[in-house]
Chain A
Amino acid sequence: DMKVTQMPRYLIKRMGENVLLECGQDMSHETMYWYRQDPGLGLQLIYISYDVDSNSEGDIPKGYRVSRKKREHFSLILDSAKTNQTSVYFCASSPLGSQNTLYFGAGTRLSVL
């Protein structure tokens, strides 16, 4: 079953707390992505990972970092969360050789109070 799983689905944190969002995929895809989605805007790329320990900044990496120690897992970390990081975060995966196969997780809705 081809799936991208995100945990948790909902999260409420206070400003200044650390946040860990987890993403897993069962398709052995090399490439994984973290996006955020805000009302009225297209998805914005935070980080992209081409494989284990091969990560690159996306368009809005400030305030975020990532970790990919296993091909099937990709984590997004917010150190000292800010209220403007309230958003819906999506993880996705695709094979390195083709973007014609792209799978998204169901998203994590993060509220930073």
Chain B
Amino acid sequence: KTQVEQSPQSLVVRQGENCVLQCNYSVTPDNHLRWFKQDTGKGLVSLTVLVDQKDKTSNGRYSATLDKDAKHSTLHITATLLDDTATYICVVGDRGSALGRLHFGAGTQLIVIP
């Protein structure tokens, strides 16, 4: 059973527009949540990690929220660029150490057009 669901599956936006990606999960316990960016044919690169019960992070044009009560996270991308075209993957960790398990979503494919 999929424990991390991402929506939408794919998204097309025009350069300069903002977009929001969603991640809902059922993983318990939920120690932390991380967003990764995966360029086509490349590995995963961490964008941000959220830890607190209600958490917010910001990393340049990327900002993220986490609500552990709702088991829900969002990734906001402001003023999208063509280089933002990628798959964005939500990952929930059930522990803070490597002894825990990571649960991966299938990703949201974002395409930014001129």
Contacts and interface: CB of A to CB of B under 8 A. Distances in A.
Nearest to A48: B98
Interface of B: 2, 4, 31-32, 34, 36, 41-46, 49, 51, 89, 93, 95-107
A58 B96 CA distance: 18
Q: Chain A: interface residue count, which band?
A: 20 to 34
Contacts of B45: 104
B102 A100 contact: no
A4 interface: yes
A25 interface: no
A60 to B, nearest CB: 13
12 contacts: A4-B43, A41-B106, A45-B101, A45-B102, A90-B44, A96-B99, A98-B97, A99-B93, A99-B96, A100-B51, A107-B41, A109-B41
Binding site of B, secondary structure by majority: helix, strand, loop or mixed?
Answer: loop
Interface of A: 4, 30-31, 35, 40-45, 48, 50, 90, 92, 94-100, 102, 104-107, 109
Contacts of A107: 41-43
B98 A42 contact: no
Nearest to A50: B98
A96 B97 contact: yes
A99 B43 contact: no
